[in-house]
Amino acid sequence: MKNNNIIKAKKKFGQNFLKDASVLDKIIQSMPHNNNHIVEIGPGLGDLTQKLVKYKDTTAYEVDTDLISILKSKFAIEIHNKRFELIHTDVLEAWDNKGSLHSQKYDLIANLPYYIATNIILRAFEDKNCENIIVMIQKEVAQKFTAKVNDKEYSSLSIITELISKESRILFDVPPESFDPPPKVISSILYVSKNMDVELDKNFLKFLKACFIQPRKKLFKNLTSTIDKELLSNIYSELNLKETLRPHEVSASLYSQMYTKVVNGKQRD
């Protein structure tokens, strides 16, 4: 499957264009039934975009100047009718500058550039207007987001996802042959429906990173590099935790309780 445009995919922008029509259709069928706006990151040559704009008003963020001119002519009518807004920028800069990718509730639907996929998903978790996330990413990364306690892929990303979502799962896998050029990895569609009442505390993510700094070592040991040993021992005894626990053996709700106690304990110091 080759793209018909005279454009060479750029590695530095993570460009692997999705060409398999059946995969595009399956993504569209997975879209939540609601009145939310759609935001797409990295419309590329516009194959997914074309399907999205048929259903809903869409805003897309694209960093590559060469693609912008192709997209502008391909979607001239939709841009004119205000069904489609094309924003030429690095999406991470847009988040830094505007705080949110859209002024009202939106769902993020995209085949993400893999080199910044984790970062994008975490920014979408923080974005107060983003409600649902349906994104194509590397399968191994999707597994980290959806893993459960005691799974081998369980990580800080799994815990954050469990705490901020109503539902999260991998919808289906996509083989390399569905793209042009084919990536070296299997891809998956990750679905996260956020619980809009939960706010993400950036310091909690830092705390979780410290918990998993050496994933196979004891959690207690990992935490003593950032938390006073006496405070940590008190928290362990209050929560009835064994000192032998490893990071992947602790549930998301326990991590949340531990963090609250760490914050309260540090404030008392």
Among candidate residues 201, 217, 214, the one with its CA nearest the CA of residue 255: 201
Identity of the residue, 47 or 162, whose beta carbon is nearer to ligand SAM in the bound complex? 47
Are 9 and 15 spatial neighbours (Cβ–Cβ below 8 Å)? yes
| Least gap, CB of 70 to ligand SAM (angstroms) | 10
SS (H, E, C) 188-233: EEEEEEECCCCCCCHHHHHHHHHHCCCCCCCHHHHHHCCCCHHHHH
DSSP secondary structure of 117-136: HHHHHHHHHH-TTEEEEEEE
CA count, 13 A, side-chain hemisphere, 4: 2
Number of residue whose CB is nearest ligand SAM: 42
* Burial of 181: CB neighbours in 10 Å, binned 0-12, 13-18, 19+: middle
Are 231 and 267 spatial neighbours (Cβ–Cβ below 8 Å)? no
Identity of the residue, 130 or 250, whose beta carbon is nearer to ligand SAM in the bound complex? 130
**Residue 99 falls in which region: left (phi positive, over 0), alpha (psi -120 to 50) or beta:** left
| Least gap, CB of 102 to ligand SAM (angstroms) | 15
Identity of the residue, 92 or 149, whose beta carbon is nearer to ligand SAM in the bound complex? 92
| Least gap, CB of 94 to ligand SAM (angstroms) | 8
Identity of the residue, 43 or 247, whose beta carbon is nearer to ligand SAM in the bound complex? 43
How many other CB atoms are there within 10 angstroms of residue 26's CB atom?
Answer: 14
| Least gap, CB of 61 to ligand SAM (angstroms) | 5
| Least gap, CB of 30 to ligand SAM (angstroms) | 14
| Least gap, CB of 105 to ligand SAM (angstroms) | 21
What are the tokens at 258? 């531990």
Identity of the residue, 39 or 63, whose beta carbon is nearer to ligand SAM in the bound complex? 63
| φ and ψ at residue 165, rounded to 5 degrees | -115, 160
Binding site for ligand SAM (CB under 6 A): 13-18, 41-45, 47-48, 61-64, 67, 90-92, 111, 113, 116
Identity of the residue, 30 or 257, whose beta carbon is nearer to ligand SAM in the bound complex? 30
